[in-house]
């Protein structure tokens, strides 16, 4: 009998909404400080620039605004896509800068774009409306779940922006926690079981991979790393072997090899 999957983690709608605005504010301050030379610099695969990445970060939040300006999707109260399914969806969770529709990708005034996006978000996203359905590129989702994915996107691409520019951009604690936890839960969902314990202090501890399950004391198979290293591993921005060699990941036990399961997104 396959291992039973655990009940999905709950996220507080108000705290997530606040976290999205806070992380977007950190990014907005960083983008404001970028020089024209930095904006034309590389930021990822292909010929994508820092300006492209900055526009993509704005669009990650603007998609909430666009969804709320449309009527609630028909088809009843059940979403097409759950939060745990989202990291595996091809449309959003690869964490790559994909083609953003105008006007975001064509705006030259990034400052105005960020200001307008934040203002619209604050006005359009109501308090306590987490169960409202919104249409996303990956499928219909609960608004509360979609906001969690926006926190995840913002954290992932804040790290991209940091690595592309060297800017020290703060992470909102709640946004970083949501990103860490969702990707850890996605790992447990992909490989259910209790033979390996994955620890990402201070935000997440999950058990995964079928096999003998420990019930007390120190488990025989343990993986531990920090939140940003975990996020980079889960999104394909870091390699398991390299992070082990650099001592950014510790793994003990014969089953504590997550390489076959990573990356989770894409």
- Domain extent listing, the chain: 13-176, 191-261
**pTM metric for this prediction:** 0.91
Of the given ranges (108-112, 157-161, 188-192), which has the lowest mean pLDDT?
A: 108-112
Contact 55, 125 (CB under 8 A): no
Rounded Cα–Cα distance for residues 117 and 24 (Å):
9
Residue 57: both structure tokens together: 């970060």
Longest dimension (CA), the chain: 58
Which pLDDT belongs to residue 42?
95
- Residue 215, pLDDT > 70, answer no
Architecture of domain 13-176: Up-down Bundle (1.20)
Please determine, looking at this structure, whether the domain spanning 191-261 carries the CATH number 3.30.1050.40. yes
pLDDT at 102 over 50: no
Report the first-to-last Cα separation within the chain, whole angstroms: 29
Average pLDDT over residues 76-94: 75
Average pLDDT of the chain to the nearest whole number: 89
Q: Are strands 196-200 and 204-208 parallel, antiparallel or unpaired?
A: antiparallel
């Amino acid at each position: 009998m396959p291992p039973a999957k655990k009940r999905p983690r709950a996220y507080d709608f108000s705290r997530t909404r606040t976290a999205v605005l806070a992380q977007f504010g950190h990014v907005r301050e960083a983008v404001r400080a970028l020089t024209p030379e930095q904006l034309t610099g590389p930021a990822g695969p292909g010929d994508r620039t820092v300006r492209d990445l900055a526009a993509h970060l704005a669009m990650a939040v603007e998609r909430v605004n666009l969804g709320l300006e449309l009527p609630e999707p028909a088809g009843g109260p059940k979403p097409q896509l759950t939060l745990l399914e989202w990291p595996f969806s091809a449309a959003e969770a690869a964490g790559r800068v994909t083609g953003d529709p105008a006007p975001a990708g064509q705006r030259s005034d990034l400052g105005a774009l960020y200001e307008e996006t934040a203002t619209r978000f604050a006005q359009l996203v109501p308090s306590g409306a987490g169960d409202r359905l919104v249409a996303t590129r990956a499928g219909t989702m609960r608004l509360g779940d979609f906001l969690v994915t926006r926190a995840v996107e913002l954290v992932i691409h804040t790290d991209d922006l940091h690595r592309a520019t060297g800017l020290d951009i703060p992470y909102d604690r709640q946004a970083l926690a949501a990103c860490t936890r969702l990707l850890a839960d996605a790992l447990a969902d992909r490989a259910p079981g209790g033979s390996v314990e994955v620890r990402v202090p201070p935000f997440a501890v999950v058990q995964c991979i079928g096999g003998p399950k420990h019930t007390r004391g120190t488990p025989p198979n343990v993986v531990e790393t920090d939140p940003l290293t975990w996020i980079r591993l889960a999104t394909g921005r870091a390699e398991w072997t390299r992070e082990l060699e650099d001592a950014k990941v510790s793994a003990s036990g014969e089953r504590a090899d997550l390489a076959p399961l990573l990356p989770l997104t894409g």
